[in-house]
Structures are given as structure tokens and as C-alpha cells.
Amino acid sequence: MSDVNAHLLAQRIDTVLDILVAGDYHSAIHNLEILKAELLALAADDAEQQNQPKAPWKSEYQPCRSRPYGPVARHIAPNSDVAMNARQQSILQVVIDKGRMSVADLAKMTGVSEVTIRQDLNLLEKQSYLRRTHGYAVPLDSEDVETRMMTHFAIKRELASRAAALVNTGETVFIENGSSNALLARTLAERGDITIITVSSYIAHLLKETPGEVILLGGIYQKRSESMVGPLTRQFIQQVHFSKAFIGIDGWQAETGFTGRDMMRADVVNAVLEKHCEAIILSDSSKFSAVHPYPLGPAGRFNRVITDDRLPDACREQLLRSGLTVDIVPYI
């Protein structure tokens, strides 16, 4: 097994351990099954390479693979919903982090050929994880909570822990949709002394085995984001009471304030802000400096931002000037 593959598998194991600690056993089992397939595939690759004579014109740093999408593809039926292997997860993560990555840079990072990288990108684009442009890969915004959960999982867990410390025994809180908010909801529900109001059916399902009380508000069901929106949702929000609201964002700039990419979800957030409760933004720093079409209320309606220490200093200063408390969590 190469050093690159060993490093990527170690990253996958760390992710599975994080998911287990968070209590999401279904996702952990799913990831362990993928990991098992990858280990079997890599072992088969090693055996195959030992039995093949080495071509004298091929450098050992330029592996030649005849099978598409890497060794894990042998364990998956053609045209099925192919799971990402460790290298592809690493590619997706760095594309999301950097915003754009060239094929050449990805090949250098992973230690495989550009042909293999293009095959990986084709698969990731087919599964709607990213988008290919000429010579580059760029992230594709996703509403799927499971997909977003796997991005920056460790830091999102720390953000959720910091946010949970703000909630007192016996409080009723509103938790909006999103991956960081889902981890927060799980943490609070396991305490058993908190009532959670949410518009996220994903969160409600996640909490079904926990002792805490959960109130799921109705409305128009958005299947991809697993969230309720629309006039009925706004009406339900007006009829319930809560002391704190935890809200996710898609973007923030000083000129625009907090923004979202979905008009109907933005309307839900604005309905919550009209309650004049303590409004808390829970988001990793990757969302800042981005801008999306729909405003999430004036900055003055929010009270606090919880994010990680990769937040640019300029953004932090602008948030403080807007009157918000900024809680910084060390990036993991």
C-alpha cells in the first residue's frame, strides 16, 4: 500500500471515529462498509502488482490503472450509485476548501496520474458532488444534509458543542436546517432536558431515539434539504415560543449581511427573526466572504456568531462592528 493510500485511509478511519462519537451509528456503519471494500480492493491491487512485471519505461510514481474510478469500482456493479473511495473524498474536500483546483494539482496531491484524476472527477460530477470546467474542478453547492455533514465534520462537531453550552436546562430552542445544526440538535436532545423546535425532518429523524422532546413544524416539504418551508411554516413559527434560535447561513459579506441560496428557506429564517429571540449563527468559516441572492434579515437582528478560527480577521472585525458577539472555536 502506498503512503498516499495509507494516509487517505487513516483520514477515513478518523472520520468514522468522529461519527461514532457523535452517535450517528447508521452513517458509521455505512462508512465502515465502504472502508472494508477499499481495503479489500487495495489488497487485491497489491497482489496484482506483485505478480506483474514492471515496465521499464514506467516510473513507479506514475501508476497505470486499467479499471475506471480506482480499485473500489471492482466491488460495485456498473452504473450503480458508486460510493466515493478515500482518494475521491480527499479530492472533494480540497475542491470545497479551495474553491477551485486544477487537474494537475490534484494529481500531484494524490500521487496518481491526471488520467485517473479525470476519471475521479467524472464520477464525482456524475454524482452531483462537484462540477468540471476546462482543466479544473469547482464545488457544487449541495442541499443534501448528509453530503454537507461529511464536509468539515470534526469542526462542525466542535461548533455544536460550543453552541450547546449556551442552552440552559428547561429551555425551548429553535434549530433551523443544516449539518452543524443537526449535530447541535443531537447534542441537546441527548441531554433530555431541552425542547427542540425544528423545521428539519432530517433533524427530527436523527433524534428519534433520544430522550429530548422534539416539535417538528409542518409546511411544504423540500425533499433534497429535508426541510419544511412556505406560508404554513411561517404561520406555525408565529404560534410557538422559544428563547433561542440557531440558524445556518450560506454566505456573509459586510455589504450584504447574511445570505441564503434558497428563497423559501430564507423566508423561514426571517420569520424566526421576527420573534425577536436570541438569534445565533452556527457556521464554519467557509461560508464567510461568499454571497447568495436572498438576505437573512439585517445583521442587527442577530446576537451571536459561532465559527472557527479560519474566519478572516477582517470578517471578524466587521461582525464585531455590527454589534454581534463572535465565538471562535479552534479549527481541527
Asked if residue 278 lies in contact with residue 244, where contact means CB atoms within 8 angstroms, the answer is yes
Task: State the average pLDDT for the chain.
Answer: 81
* Same-domain pairing of 129 and 189: no
Residue type (1 letter), 87: R
- Grid cell, residue 30, equals 455505512
The one-letter amino acid code at 126 reads: K
Q: Please check the confidence at residue 79 and state whether its pLDDT lies above 70.
A: no
Is residue 196 located within the same domain as residue 75?
no
pTM: 0.62
**Do 299 and 162 share a structural domain?**
yes
Q: Does 161 score more than 50 pLDDT?
A: yes
Cell of 122: 467524472
For every residue of 99-137, DSSP letters joined together read S-EEHHHHHHHHTS-HHHHHHHHHHHHHTTSEEEETTEE
Q: Give me the pLDDT at residue 184, please.
A: 96
174 and 320 housed in the same domain:
yes
Are residues 16 and 74 located together in one domain of the fold? yes
Q: Are residues 248 and 121 in the same domain?
A: no
Residues 153 and 116 placed together within one structural domain of the fold: no
Instruction: Assign residue 258 the CATH number of its domain.
Output: 3.40.50.1360
- Of the three residues 105, 140, 175, the one that is the final residue of a domain is 140
Q: Which of the listed residues 140, 164, 191 is the one where a domain comes to its end?
A: 140
Q: Is the pLDDT of residue 328 over 60?
A: yes
Q: Which residues lie closer than 8 Å to 47 by C-beta, 6 or more apart? A: none
Same domain, 194 and 299: yes
- Tell me, yes or no, whether 38 and 95 share the same domain: yes
CATH of the domain at 125: 1.10.10.10
Domain tally, the chain: 2
The verdict on 135 and 177 lying in the same domain is no
Decide: 75 and 38 in contact? Cβ < 8 Å.
Answer: no
pLDDT > 50? residue 47: yes
> What pLDDT does residue 274 have?
95
Residues 6+ apart with CB under 8 A from 159: 180, 183, 184, 282, 283, 284, 306, 307, 308, 329
Rounded CA separation 94/89 (Å): 9
pLDDT at 46: 58
If asked whether residues 243 and 183 sit together in one domain, one would say yes
85-106 pLDDT, tens digit per residue, is 888 888 988 887 777 889 999 9
Query: Where in the sequence is the domain holding 215, given as residue range(s)?
Result: 147-329
Are residues 155 and 126 both part of a single domain?
Answer: no
Task: For residue 262, give the C-alpha cell.
Answer: 434558497
pLDDT digits (tens, 9 = 90+) for 222-277: 988 899 999 999 999 999 999 999 999 999 998 999 999 899 999 999 999 999 99
Domain final residue, candidates 140, 168, 192: 140
- pLDDT tens readout for residues 97-145: 777 889 999 999 999 999 999 999 988 888 767 888 778 888 765 556 6
Give the pLDDT mean for 298-303.
90
CB-based contacts of 17, cutoff 8 Å, min separation 6 = none
